[in-house]
A and B are shown apart, each in its own frame.
Chain A
Amino acid sequence: MRRADLPAARIDIGEAIHLWDWNSRYYAWRGYVVAQTLPAHCSHTTSGRQSLTAKEMTVAQSAIRDYSRALSLNHRAAVAHQNLAWLQHLTADDQAAREHWQAAIRDDPGDAVMHVSYALFLEESGGHAEAQNEVETALELSPSLVDSTFLRDFRSRPADQADALVRLSISRMQTRNDRQADPILEAKLGKLYLFLGDAQHAVTLLRHAVEALPDLPLAWLNLGNAYAILGNTEAATDCYRRSNLLDSLHPGPYFGMARINLVAGHEQGAARYLHRAVLQAQLIPPITAAHQNQLYIGPYQRIDDLLPPVLAQYISPCWNAETALALGEVPFPDEAGSRAGVGDCRQIHSPHSLP
């Protein structure tokens, strides 16, 4: 599957099912492979709802059968519920889809992906208020969602809707943190404040979080970003270095260092860091697969088996290699303040320009 050789993957999984026909994950993986040939139906990433051809409908029904079988063997498989919901939504069975989305959230309420996915469906179905609730929950679970294309799109729709949601999430999380101080909560709040442009407040919260729990690489990264916005490049560099030590796979610190070099006018240095960031971006572990590996014993899952295939990328922080490569190819402007022509990813990752 990693090589995208779908026919071969399907044959191999079929053999695995033949040998072990009560393994729910095998059915789910076959359903995933089968569904790869379907159009990525996601109204926010394509030009709108498409109707399936007869052949596509047959394929979708086949995938639905596989997921249904997977769920009959393990009714707690949240990802299978989610994928089945997408397939049913694709085949216009929205009532069944809604039930499966709700089941996915019930079985794994701590997974932000399920909430976002359901929010996309709700928004498409007109349930804007419900959708906002789900996005708000997802933001509380995973503030790095603010770095995703999903939130960028969300931000570009009704004016200030995304910012209002983030403020609402902040308010709820702040109340919880006031009740009982929690360094993780502070780190999440810091990230959200950073998104809203309040770098000073973000520094306070993130500093406090890393003092209590210094083993949080993302908190160090965000602290570095906040310091960079405030113009404290020395502190930012130190934070990036620490973040990189704690999670050498994450491209974030390299992007951060590239930005610092860019501001300082060291274009070669910036290009070197960007090149490294591109390489690192290819090593980021998939989000859902990492979660699945903690829930299930067995073969190590290395890819996100979420449907539609674009979903994982759509809701992940924008670190993917292609975008980073595009960013690396963009000729850097002479003036640090000018952002013209720079790719989307940079805008999402750093919505507030460096001084």
Chain B
Amino acid sequence: MGVGSPSRTRSRMHRRLPNGLNAAAAKWLRLWQETGWVVLLSSYLAAIYLDLSWIEFLLIALMLAALGAGARTSTARMTAPDWNVLAILLFEIPSLLFSIDRANSVRTTEAVIQAFAVYCIARAVLRSPQQLAIVAVVLALGGCCIALPGIREFHRNAVALAHAGFSDLVAFRSRLILPHGRWVVGEWFTLLLLLLPFAAAAPLYLWRMGRTGLALGATILAIPISVALVISLSRAVLWSTVLFVLATWGLIRLFALTSTRAAATGAGLWLLLLSLIVVCASAVDPGVLEAYLGSHPSQTRSNEGRFATWKRSARVVTAHPVWGVGSSNSALALAGTANESETTGTVRSTFSLPLQLLVEKGTAGLVLYASLPILVGYRFLRGMRTYRLAARGPAVPGVPLPKSGSQPLGPRARSDERSAAKALYCALAAGAAALLCRELVYASLFSHALILVLFALLLAVIASAPEILNEDSLLRPGEHGAASAGPMDGRSIRSGRCQA
């Protein structure tokens, strides 16, 4: 786990190859490192979404084997979030012993192991901003593929309801989109919320790289995902989306990537786009706007049901304070706290991630899991602050960069690439924060392996900020030989502030 020095890895690899093969091998190696891992990771995520267990297994085995083969030549370095993730994994195993139904908990433990593997792979193989941009584009494409059928289905069902004489869409929000397989609609929106930051990160990266046309093209990928989130008719989802927009541009301004006016304009345009989506969706399928204005009885009931579930969860926590009832057992434990006067039916979850952690994993689990986003956030802030000075003096969009591998980047181009990477990080960090805010009132992080795996990927990418934003990773592949002799190899990240 952790990130080794890419320059050292490559130079060792080069030494083992005959001279004639060096160029070709280096080219393939570069291609593999830039795109191969991204393709494998994306295929793995698609396999989880489509419930293709065998392909999932093969891909994860392949990636771990490739990672193991590369581990001999890389210098791994564990950071605080990595240790925390390892501690979570170690916690999950003994916590099975305290589970009230171990067989029910095993599947969540499997999902945690999958997420752990993806976290390790992402931490080890994602080493450059270009790779992150490719990951962002691929995941945004995946998000579009998921969102578009959902939008079509929403419209079809809304029309059917209108024909039957139903005028209120909000009461039917749980049945307007029926996702693939065993996905529950709320969890499906969590998946889209997880993909939105990737879809937003790609255009931001391209914009800061001065590729305005491409950035505009990439923005299109974020639109279907935003539309699907808006037509969720869930206020929590909509507010998370708004929070994501505000947090992204707030962070971009905070780290001096743009002026206050430009950040306000960016946020304003994005929010305007969301408003337009609401208005247009309402024009096509009347009732969308009404879902966000006023209070429908089904929304009131939903809130009351949440409060009732939280009270019941508190009773379970009191009975199992340290280790909890075990992963995935909250529904089973909550069933015992029901009474005939409640009309909420079977409660599937605690409707709050912190409460779910407390109920299922106890205080010990809550401390371990809660510390992960805190540590990742700390590393993100450290990585972003370290190079704040270097990024000051924003790059001018439109200034052409030297072609990849042709010649070493000049200081200005590096500054451009660093600020582009920082903009990308701002979107991803804002996405994680927005998702966690929504999870305060909806516990879906552990509901499906894909959500957990994607969240682990997001955290792994954010945790890699100090490494990726360092000087070495911003060099073009042709420069690494020279750079390895320089002062900024992988081990000198801690001194990055001085170098900047």
Q: Does B172 contact A (CB under 8 A)?
A: yes
Q: Does A15 contact B (CB under 8 A)?
A: no
Q: What are some 23 contacts across the A-B interface (CB < 8 A)?
A: A20-B103, A22-B103, A23-B103, A26-B103, A73-B102, A74-B100, A76-B335, A77-B101, A106-B336, A108-B338, A109-B339, A137-B340, A182-B301, A184-B301, A184-B343, A214-B172, A242-B166, A245-B161, A295-B331, A295-B335, A296-B332, A298-B103, A298-B107
The answer to whether B336 touches A109 (Cβ under 8 A) is: yes
The answer to whether A140 touches B340 (Cβ under 8 A) is: yes
The answer to whether B346 touches A294 (Cβ under 8 A) is: yes
Residues in B with CB closer than 8 Å to A296 are: 101, 104, 332
The answer to whether A214 touches B103 (Cβ under 8 A) is: no
CA distance A71 to B227 in the complex (A): 47
The answer to whether B335 touches A107 (Cβ under 8 A) is: yes
Residues in B with CB closer than 8 Å to A77 are: 101
CA distance A24 to B101 in the complex (A): 8
When each residue 458-476 of chain B gets 1 if its CB lies under 8 Å from chain A and 0 otherwise, what string results?
0000000000000000000
Q: Does A241 contact B (CB under 8 A)?
A: yes
Is the interface on chain A under 10, 10 to 19, 20 to 34, or 35 or more residues?
Answer: 35 or more
A interface majority secondary structure = helix
Which residue on chain A has the smallest CB distance to residue B329? Answer: A76
The answer to whether B338 touches A245 (Cβ under 8 A) is: no
Q: Does A166 contact B (CB under 8 A)?
A: no
Q: Does A12 contact B (CB under 8 A)?
A: no
The answer to whether B338 touches A110 (Cβ under 8 A) is: yes
Which residue on chain B has the smallest CB distance to residue A182? Answer: B343
Q: Does A141 contact B (CB under 8 A)?
A: yes
Residues in A with CB closer than 8 Å to B340 are: 109-110, 137, 140-141
Residues in A with CB closer than 8 Å to B172 are: 214-215
Contacts known (A73-B103, A109-B340, A294-B331); A214 close to B346, Cβ less than 8 A? no
Tell me the smallest distance from the CB of A178 to a CB of chain B, in Å: 13
Residues in B with CB closer than 8 Å to A300 are: 182
When each residue 74-108 of chain B gets 1 if its CB lies under 8 Å from chain A and 0 otherwise, what string results?
00000000000000000000000000111110011
Contacts known (A106-B336, A297-B107, A297-B108); A76 close to B346, Cβ less than 8 A? no
CA distance A134 to B345 in the complex (A): 18
Q: Which of A108, A176, A183, A213 contacts B341 (CB 8 A)?
A: A176
CA distance A298 to B168 in the complex (A): 35
Q: Does A185 contact B (CB under 8 A)?
A: yes
Within 8 A of A (CB), among B104-130: 104, 107-108
Q: Which of B108, B182, B336, B346 contacts A107 (CB 8 A)?
A: B336
Q: Does A275 contact B (CB under 8 A)?
A: no
CA distance A260 to B107 in the complex (A): 50
The answer to whether A245 touches B101 (Cβ under 8 A) is: no
CA distance A314 to B168 in the complex (A): 38
Q: How many of B's residues come within 8 Å of A, CB to CB? A: 36
Counting chain B CB atoms within 10 Å of each CB, the highest count among A20, A183, A296 belongs to A296
Tell me the smallest distance from the CB of A39 to a CB of chain B, in Å: 31
Residues in A with CB closer than 8 Å to B101 are: 24, 73-74, 76-77, 296
When each residue 121-164 of chain B gets 1 if its CB lies under 8 Å from chain A and 0 otherwise, what string results?
00000000000000000000000000000000000000011001
When each residue 173-187 of chain A gets 1 if its CB lies under 8 Å from chain B and 0 otherwise, what string results?
000100000111100
Q: Does B328 contact A (CB under 8 A)?
A: yes
Within 8 A of B (CB), among A23-39: 23-26
Q: Which of A73, A109, A213, A241 contacts B297 (CB 8 A)?
A: A213
CA distance A78 to B338 in the complex (A): 13
Residues in A with CB closer than 8 Å to B265 are: none
Not counting A215-B175, A291-B346, a sample of 6 additional A-B residue pairs whose C-beta atoms are within 8 angstroms of each other reads A24-B101, A140-B340, A182-B301, A212-B298, A214-B166, A295-B335
Q: Does A238 contact B (CB under 8 A)?
A: yes
Tell me the smallest distance from the CB of B100 to a CB of chain A, in Å: 6
The answer to whether B298 touches A213 (Cβ under 8 A) is: yes
The answer to whether A297 touches B328 (Cβ under 8 A) is: yes
When each residue 173-208 of chain B gets 1 if its CB lies under 8 Å from chain A and 0 otherwise, what string results?
011000000100000000000000000000000000
When each residue 353-369 of chain B gets 1 if its CB lies under 8 Å from chain A and 0 otherwise, what string results?
00000000000000000
Which residue on chain A has the smallest CB distance to residue B99? Answer: A74
Q: Which of A76, A183, A214 contacts B100 (CB 8 A)?
A: A76
Q: Does B294 contact A (CB under 8 A)?
A: no
